Chains A and B, each alone.
Chain A
Amino acid sequence: QKEVEQDPGPLSVPEGAIVSLNCTYSNSAFQYFMWYRQYSRKGPELLMYTYSSGNKEDGRFTAQVDKSSKYISLFIRDSQPSDSATYLCATLNDYKLSFGAGTTVTVRA
Chain B
Amino acid sequence: SAVISQKPSRDICQRGTSLTIQCQVDSQVTMMFWYRQQPGQSLTLIATANQGSEATYESGFVIDKFPISRPNLTFSTLTVSNMSPEDSSIYLCSVGGQTSSYNEQFFGPGTRLTVL
Give the distance to chain B from A92, nearest Cβ to Cβ, in Å.
Answer: 6
Q: What residues of chain A lie closer than 8 Å to B33, measured between beta carbons?
A: 96-97
On whether A43 and B108 interact (CB within 8 A), knowing A32-B103, A95-B96, the answer reads yes
Q: Which chain A residue shows the least CB distance to B101?
A: A49
Distance of A84 Cα from B33 Cα, bound (Å)? 27
The residues of B that contact A102 with a CB separation of less than 8 Å are 42
Q: Which of B31, B103, B107 has a CB less than 8 Å from the CB of A43?
A: B107
> What total of A-B pairs shows CB separation below 8 Å?
55
Number of interface residues of A (CB under 8 A): 25
**Chain A contact residues: over half helix, strand or loop, or mixed?**
strand
List the B side residues contacting A41 at CB < 8 Å: 110, 112
* B103 and A88 contacting across the interface, CB-CB below 8 Å: no
Question: In the complex, are the beta carbons of B104 and A49 less than 8 A apart?
Answer: yes
Interface size for B (C-beta < 8 A) is 26
Greatest chain A CB density within 10 A among B43, B45, B108 is at B43
A17 at the interface (CB under 8 A from B): no
Is there a chain A Cβ closer than 8 Å to B61's Cβ?
A: no
User: In chain B, what residue has the closest Cβ to A3?
Assistant: B42
Which residues of chain B come closer than 8 Å to A88, judged between CB atoms?
42-43
Contact A44 B107 (CB under 8 A): yes
8 Å CB contacts to A: which residues of B90-105? 92, 94, 96-97, 102-105
On whether the beta carbons of B103 and A49 are closer than 8 Å, the reply is yes
Chain A residues, CB < 8 A from B40:
101
How many Å lie between the Cα of A51 and that of B42 in the bound state? 22
B103 touching A96 by the CB < 8 A rule? Answer: no
**A45 vs B45: C-alpha distance in the bound complex, in angstroms?**
16
Instruction: Answer whether residue A42 sits at the interface, using C-beta atoms and an 8 A cutoff.
Output: yes
Bound-complex Cα distance A96 to B40 (A): 21
Q: How far is the CA of A42 from the CA of B10 in the complex (A)?
A: 12
Cβ contacts A to B, 9 pairs, < 8 Å: A32-B103, A41-B112, A43-B110, A44-B92, A96-B45, A97-B94, A99-B44, A101-B40, A102-B42
> Chain B: residues with CB nearer than 8 A to chain A?
1, 4, 31, 33, 40-45, 48, 58, 92, 94, 96-97, 102-110, 112
